[in-house]
Chains A and B, each alone.
Chain A
Amino acid sequence: MRKFKENLSGRIFFILALSSISALALITVFIFIKGVPFIAEVGLFNFLFGSSWAPDHGEYGILPMIAGTFIVTFGAALIGIPIALCCAVFLAEIAPAWLRNLFRPAIQLLAGIPSVVYGFWGLVFIVPFIMNHFGGPGVGILAASIILGIMILPTVISISEVSILALPRQYKEGALALGLTHWQTIRSVILPSAKSGIVAAVILGIGRAVGETMAVIMIVGNAPAMPRSILDPVRTLTTNIGLEMNYASGLHEKALFATGIVLFIIIMILNASAQYFTRKRSF
């Protein structure tokens, strides 16, 4: 009887685990089934490198959106990553315990804010600020990069901090015993030793930025054209799908699934690199 119960619980866990993976499988199969025939019909080159997206006129080039995703993500990384790393070092090495206990929940709270609230705040605060101080319509690359930069902070900070804290204390002791100051120890021993964890943190933060849709739709301008400055409105791969999925049909709908395939591949590459870097530990 006990053996039967053991077997049963094992099987139940297996089925539950299977159902979560089945969701992944369903989504993957779905987007490929819908998207691949589209790519076959329109041509991969025209799709990826065409610079005009006008489904009503039969044009399905997503180059402006690929550019939009890259530029906005790059901007988010430029803004968010230095701040996140400084925060992680501060929390792990410099802050006294009472300050740490204040900061950490605050950062977790940042992670819990829904993306639509970020977008709304961006629209009401960041967009007019940019318009009045930098020019342009306010919505565009700069606004999206700022909001995304803030949104990726919790991810990058927490994983970097954990990587630093996971280092053996002996590295720090050894460096100090050689006559290095605290700052020199952080710069020359701690950060290089935590490198693989920090790189993984950065990559995961970038992945978050690439996949964000709701906050970005509200403040990025959504113009499907190649931008000429950071104040220009632009469209990303995710906002393209988000804007048009409600009413797209036929070839247009398949084009959106094909866009989904492109996003899927980008995220797979990012996740694989993050895995590679975390495995490549230098202890």
Chain B
Amino acid sequence: MRSKRLTILSAALIMLLSACGRENSASVIIAGSTSVHPYAELLAEEYYRLPHGMMVDVQGGGSSAGIMQVENGIADIGMSSRSLKENEQHLWQIEIAKDGLAIILHPSNSVDNLTKDQIRGIYAAEITNWSQVGGADKAIHIIAREDGSGTRSAFEELVMAGSRITPRAIIQSSNGAVRQLVSGNPSSIGFISLGMVDEGEKPVKAIAIEGAAATAENVANGSYGLFRSFLFVTKAEPEGSVKEFIDYVLSPDGQRHLLHEGLIGGAAG
């Protein structure tokens, strides 16, 4: 009888142990937008080189994933490339930079310039052939991001104006993956972070929107209308090592790195 109880107790203990959570480590954990990811990584590297710098761990997963992880306490800082939704407004946020949203095509595509409405029509599957917008007679292959992507939300806000992106769009789950597909498919169209346009083996072409070329200057002077804020989000007002890192990102030093990479200055810059 006693040994039977002992057996059951041990079994329960094993099950309990398997349900235990993680332990805290000293470094700062950042997760979220794949658009912000490369810049956050760069900043983390630079930060680590400073005399008092500590380890900052940067992960991807998409804007919504990052925000969720901040809510759950899994990540200290969430990266977002879209604005916060209503039910997220209780979180603390700061804009660290502005980023252009590039509409990319394969370099062989003869189309160089589109209006916002044309892009909307393409993504809503109202325009289905390149010939309808001045290109070759080929079906348009639409590439979009997953629902939780900040880039997708930004795109929907800036371009779609209430229309839905067609469910027939091919979905890829990062900027890099979208870019890679577009670079190999002459009939495709996709949207990525402006800073990512030149990051990759094969080239892609970022088209002009209503006459304005896709450059950081044009975003800064307002002629290129597609841009969004990169946000750092925390559960509550940041303190300690988290605050120190955010202060660094907003400092002239941190901002200089971001500007160097093609972003536009954030709330403090």
Contact = CB atoms under 8 A, between A and B. Distances in A.
A and B touch in the complex (CB under 8 A): yes
A223 B62 contact: no
Contact of A221 (B15, B68, B171, B173): B171
A233 B188 CA distance: 13
Contacts of B158: none
A166 interface: no
Given A18-B11, A26-B15, A225-B167, A131 B148 contact: no
Interface residues of B, number: 35
Contact of A19 (B15, B68, B181, B184): B15
A52 interface: yes
Interface string B1-25: 0010001001100110010000000
Nearest to A222: B171
A235 B18 CA distance: 33
A211 interface: no
A281 interface: no
Contacts of A64: 167
Interface residues of A, number: 40
Given A22-B14, A221-B171, A222-B172, A11 B7 contact: yes
A57 B177 CA distance: 26
A247 B170 contact: no
A14 B67 CA distance: 43
Interface of A: 7, 11, 14-15, 18-19, 22-23, 26, 52-57, 64, 123, 127-128, 131, 136-139, 217-218, 221-225, 232-233, 235, 243-244, 246-249
Interface of B: 3, 7, 10-11, 14-15, 18, 61-65, 67-68, 141, 143, 146-148, 164, 166-173, 177, 180-181, 184-185, 187-188
25 contacts: A11-B3, A15-B14, A19-B14, A22-B11, A23-B18, A55-B147, A64-B167, A128-B184, A137-B170, A137-B181, A137-B185, A138-B184, A139-B181, A222-B146, A222-B171, A223-B169, A223-B170, A244-B148, A246-B62, A246-B68, A246-B148, A247-B61, A247-B63, A247-B64, A247-B67
